[in-house]
Structure formats: C-alpha cells, structure tokens
Structure 1
Amino acid sequence: MSLPARGFVVFLLSTQVVQGQDDWGVTFSSTEICAVKGSTVEIRCSFTYPSKVLFTTVEKTFWFTKKKGRERVDLKTDSEYRGRVEDLCQNNICTLRIRNLRESDSAEYKFRIIIQEGGSYTGSPGVTLSVTDPDLQLKVSRAYSDQAELKCQTSCHVPDNNSYIWYKNGEELRTGISYSRLVNFGSADIYSCALNGHENHRSPSVYAPKPPSVSVSPSAEIEEGSSVTLTCSSDANPAASYTWYKDETSYSSILNEEHQFVFSSMQASDSGQYFCTAENELGRRTSENVFIDVKYAPKPPSVSVSPSAEIEEGSSVTLTCSSDANPAATYTWYKDETSYSSILNEEPQLVFSSINSSDSGEYFCTAENELGRSTSENVFIDVKYKSPMIMNITRLVLVVLVLSPLLLVCLWMRKKKAVSSTTEANEPIETVELDPFSVYEDISDLNMVSPEQTEGPEEQEDLV
C-alpha cells in the first residue's frame, strides 16, 4: 500500500466488536480512532448475512456517516468526501480509506449491507473518528547516567513508519527520522519535534533547568520568631524538582526537597547562606547563595573579671560584659543599684587602673539593641586592704635585698686597700684572707647604728 508523500495512514486493531442477529453481523477492527489532520485513516470491518436464504447474494455495501441531513448517504457520492475516499471490499472484509483528513471528518462511521432478497443490515454502533491537530509531546527519560532519551509522542496513534522531524535550538536536524533520539545530560540545548508534513505543529520544547532564582518572603528585615519562606524557581521542561542546602558546596546536607523552604519560627541559629538546585531528566542547575540574617535581642550577658585571682588594693582590674546579639549590643555598667540610675561606664569593659577598697561591691551590666535589653547576673568584687605598716616593711625588705650585695663589695674593697697600705711601709707582705663571717659582722655593726649616729635626718628618711 503506497502512502501519500506528506501524510500517514492510521488503522487500529483492537478487541473485535460484533453486532448482529439472525446471522447478520458486522465486526469492526476498532470502535474509536484518533487521527491527525492531513493524514490518511483506514476503518476496517468484516460482515456476515443470513446463510439460510438460498442463493443469497450481496447487492451493495457502503459506508456512511450520521451527519445532520445526510442519513445513510454513501460516502463515495458525498460531496464532502469526493476524491478523498476509497471503499475496498474483498471476501466480506471492507476497508474505508479517507485521505487528507479534516477536522470536519470527525464523526461516527457505520457500515450497511443490502442483499438482493430485500434484506439489509447496519452495524451499530459504528466507529467514532476524531481528527485533531498533531498534539505532540516530547517524553523525556534518563537512559544512561550521561544521556537522556527523547520520544516524540501524540495522543493519536501514529504508525511506526511515519517520519519525524527533530529540532535543536530551533534548527532542523537532518540526522534520522525516528520518533526517539538520545541527547547529552546537562546540555543547555532545546529540543522539539514534529510529524513530517505537520511542521507547523511542533511539540513543546524540552530543556534542562535554567539557573534557579531564590526569593525570600517577607523581604524586609527578619526577626527571631518570625515566619519566613524561601522559594526556588527555575524555567524547565519537564518541570524541575528542587532541593535546598545551607552553607555547603558538597551537596551532602539536604534540608528540603520542595520548591519552598518554610521556617515557621526563625531562630538565630538559622542565619547563614542558603541555595537550591533545580533538576530534571536533562540536567541540573544551582542557584546563587542568599544570605539570611536573623535579627534578635541580646541574650543574657555574661561578666568576666581579669585577673580572676584575689584582688588586692592598688592592682589593675578589668570587668568585661559580653552578649550574643544581632545587631551588636551596646553595654552599660552599674554598681549596687537596681534602678539603673547610676551609670559607671558605657563600654563593654569597665577598667580599674588602681583599684581601691572602696571599689568593693556588686557590679552588673546591660546589653541593649533596638530589639530589646538584657541584664547580667551580679558579680561581687572583694578588694583586699593593705595597711601602711605592712607596705613599709615590704619596701624595707626589698631595699635590703637589693643593697646587701653592694655593701659586701664595698667592705671587701676597704680591706684590700688597708692591706695595700701596710705593704708599702716595707713590712713583710702577708696574705690576707677575707673572712666572710667578719664581713657579715661588719654589716651587722652597720645595721646596729642608731638613728642618732647617722649623718642627718635626710639619710634616715632615705633608709625608711
């Protein structure tokens, strides 16, 4: 059977449907057929008639449609079908062939038998034909890890011998006429297809996801406890599936697999970088990062004391107030107050360069930003007092420890000088050994000198 150059033939075989009584009957190959405009369709049936009538012969068979005002009109004589139909019958099998289908050809087609003995029979119900534009769709499936398979399909049956036209980025491909083809996964190319002779009715294009965008709602400043929705969207066909990640580049930690990621009550720990991926059978794309900055009031501040050991009067002491807050907190220091009326300092640190015993007491601080204020626990500073007598004794001990080696050197030099004077008087030179105990006795003598024996009051003050 030859086919039109730019058309195709449609005929469907299905479970046979038989209607008849008293040995009359018509069997249709299918009761419903869908065909594309401009194509060729074949409607086929077989028939029987009463065998008990001797020498029965078939006078006429024909196909007709139940259109308004055209009851039982042979299609071969119908002006709407003239030149487009063929009625072929052989061995009680008849085929109606309609070329260059039009939408107006959509109707119910019936087959009628007339015998010479005056009997007749019409098969009912007949065959319903639907003529439509080529409603082509490209079905995409992953055939391999690095390739995807495209199949050009239509809601109407299309014989396998029909030719297909493939398009890549809008340009016709001249390689192959198959209804399927393989393409590389991850390619940014756009594909579509059409039936030969129906180039104006291309399928919708298929393509990998475009780089997705991320939107944040509400778009205003985000406060702790508020509800926030992140939405990932990408142009893709087939439609993309979405996955959410946070602060990762290895895609190992999946947060959500929906196009929206909803925080019902935002927490400070939710701050960070978020991104999403969009993926279909043709490829995957990743969005830009979006930074979520959750604002919150200061957490209860903590107070640290440096040094943390026992605090003595005159030492340097630093109190530090710290709190987790966004935006950053400002700090205020107070002492022994609950009314916050006496401000000591408005810095994170309260520094005592030389602390006094009067500085002893309880200290606390507050941390505040535009979202709220929080107060620390009290910290007690206990400054140890030092009396003047203890301080003078301490100074005296330090002076003695520093001057003792110098005094030893001076006494040794005096004894050496005395020995040198003796040898100059032509006396026998004797070796003088320095008795360390005598040196210490001299030092004791020096320390035993009373204040009255000193040269003046200034030296006494120096000694003290």
Structure 2
Amino acid sequence: MESFILIILVILPGVQGGDWGVTSGDQCALRGSSVIIDCQYDYPSGRWVTSVGWSRLRQGHFILSKLPLNSAYFNYVGNYRGDCRLRINNVQHDDEGAYLFNFVTTINRWTSKRAARLSVRELTTVVEPSTVTEGGEVRLSCVSGCSTPVNILWFRDGQPVPQPGFQATREDAGRYYCTVQGQDTVRSAPVALNVQ
C-alpha cells in the first residue's frame, strides 16, 4: 500500500507573495446610522505591517484629512493582516465623500489608488393621502436613497403605530415618522395626517 503525504498551505495576506493593493467598496448610509466601509489590502511576502490609517479626501479639494481612528466617531475594525474595514458612527451629511486607506510595512508604504465613496441619505415618510375622511384608507411608506431597511418602526406623535396601513379615525390625525429598529438616531422628518 502506498502512502501519500498531503500538504495544506494556508494563504494569508502578505504571506503568499501578493501584490501591493487595496480593494474597498462604496457605501450608502442613512443619516444617524453607523456604517462599515468594506476594505481589504494585500502586500508582498517578507513584510510586516507597522501602521494603518484612513484619510478623507475633501470634496472639490485634493487635501487629505487624516481620520482619528479608534475615536467615538471613527473605529478601525480591521487588522494588520489584510482587513482594513472602517466604521463611522452617527453618520451625518458632512461625512459624505471619498475615503482612502493607507498602510506602512517594514519596507514600504501604500495608499489606495481608488477611493471608497460614502453617500448619506435621509429616511422619508410618505403618508397617502395626507388628508382623508374618517373611514378612508391610509398607507404609510418609508423610503430612502439607500436600500430601505426592512425593520422599520412607525410612530404617531411619539406613540407606536402597529401597522403602516389602516382605516382612519379622528384619533389617527397627527404627525407620523419612521425609524429603523435598534437605531434611535435614524428617523425621518414627521409628516402630518389630517382626518376630516
């Protein structure tokens, strides 16, 4: 009987002799939410990463602003072996723009050639119709410029609304808004429903 020896190689970034490079994806986030910018990086074998960083390319300018990583606002959730993800907490419209990742190894340094673009959108409540007679059907919709989350909660004047569709009574008059479950800071501007 012949015996075979099976050798398994584990391929890790920076170990397999890869090329220098950064791959990141564009993101769309709702104002007030937290978002993670996906990112991976690679470098040739024989090197070790000594530092990492993210910078923001200011819109209309070629000025890079270094981000304070591991602050309350920006968190580096990647590592020193190929994962360069960045979390931005409580996203605001000012955060919209282009982001670049850079890293330094024992021999060289590298900055992404293509920026990861972040766009920031709002949740918007639509009440159809906005004026209805008692007994009429009302439909609530929550939309955004990003993919709208499925876990939407509805409120009227701060009180929970069980269903986005209902037959109107006088008590249903008020200001309606939608939020994302588990993210209190993500909410639409209120829209009034008038019941006659």
- Give the alignment's TM-score, normalised by structure 1: 0.30
Structure 1 partner of 2:104 = 114
More helix by share: 1
Q: Output the CA distance in 1 between the equivalents of 2:19 and 2:186.
A: 45
| Runs of 4+ deviating beyond 4 Å | 146-149, 186-191
Q: Output the CA distance in 2 between the equivalents of 1:207 and 1:152.
A: 18
Q: Secondary structure at the match of 2:68?
A: helix
Cα deviation 1:160-188 (Å, max 9, x = unaligned): 44x63421xxx333344xxx62212x767
Structure 1 partner of 2:143 = 153
Structure 1 spans left out of the alignment, 5+ residues: 1-21, 211-464
Structure 1 partner of 2:19 = 23
Q: 1:137 aligns with which of 119, 122, 125?
A: 125
Structure 1 partner of 2:55 = 64
Structure 2 spans left out of the alignment, 5+ residues: 1-17, 130-135
**Partners of 1:35 and 1:157 within 8 A in 2:** no
**Partners of 2:177 and 2:188 within 8 A in 1:** no
Larger RCO (CA under 8 A, 6+ residues apart): 2
Decide whether aligned partners of structure 1 residues 33 and 200 sit closer, same or farther in structure 2, where only a CA change above 3 A counts.
Answer: closer
**Partners of 2:29 and 2:146 within 8 A in 1:** yes
Query: Over aligned residues, Cα RMSD in angstroms?
Result: 3.5
Q: Output the CA distance in 1 between the equivalents of 2:146 and 2:187.
A: 17
Bigger Rg, structure 1 or 2 = 1
Q: Output the CA distance in 1 between the equivalents of 2:187 and 2:141.
A: 17
Amino acid at match of 2:75: E
Q: Output the CA distance in 2 between the equivalents of 1:164 and 1:23.
A: 46
Q: Output the CA distance in 2 between the equivalents of 1:181 and 1:46.
A: 40
Deviation at 1:207, TM superposition (A): 6.2
Matches within 5 A, 1:51-450: 51=45, 55-67=46-58, 70-71=63-64, 73-76=65-68, 82-90=71-79, 91-118=81-108, 120-132=109-121, 134-138=122-126, 149-161=139-151, 164-167=153-156, 171-176=157-162, 181-184=164-167, 189-190=172-173, 192-195=176-179, 196-197=184-185, 201-202=189-190, 204-205=191-192
Amino acid at match of 1:182: G
Deviation at 1:148, TM superposition (A): 5.5
Aligned length: 164
Cα deviation 1:96-154 (Å, max 9, x = unaligned): 11222333222211112322112x3222321222335x34132759xxxx866433222
Deviation at 1:206, TM superposition (A): 5.3
Q: Output the CA distance in 2 between the equivalents of 1:56 and 1:139.
A: 58
Q: Output the CA distance in 1 between the equivalents of 2:30 and 2:107.
A: 38
Structure 2 partner of 1:342 = none
Deviation at 1:75, TM superposition (A): 1.0
Q: Secondary structure at the match of 1:174?
A: strand
Amino acid at match of 2:114: P
Q: Output the CA distance in 1 between the equivalents of 2:177 and 2:128.
A: 12
Q: Output the CA distance in 2 between the equivalents of 1:69 and 1:108.
A: 11
Q: Output the CA distance in 2 between the equivalents of 1:62 and 1:106.
A: 18
Q: Output the CA distance in 2 between the equivalents of 1:87 and 1:199.
A: 26
Decide whether aligned partners of structure 1 residues 124 and 149 sit closer, same or farther in structure 2, where only a CA change above 3 A counts.
Answer: farther
Q: Output the CA distance in 2 between the equivalents of 1:95 and 1:159.
A: 22
Decide whether aligned partners of structure 1 residues 35 and 199 sit closer, same or farther in structure 2, where only a CA change above 3 A counts.
Answer: closer
More strand by share: 2
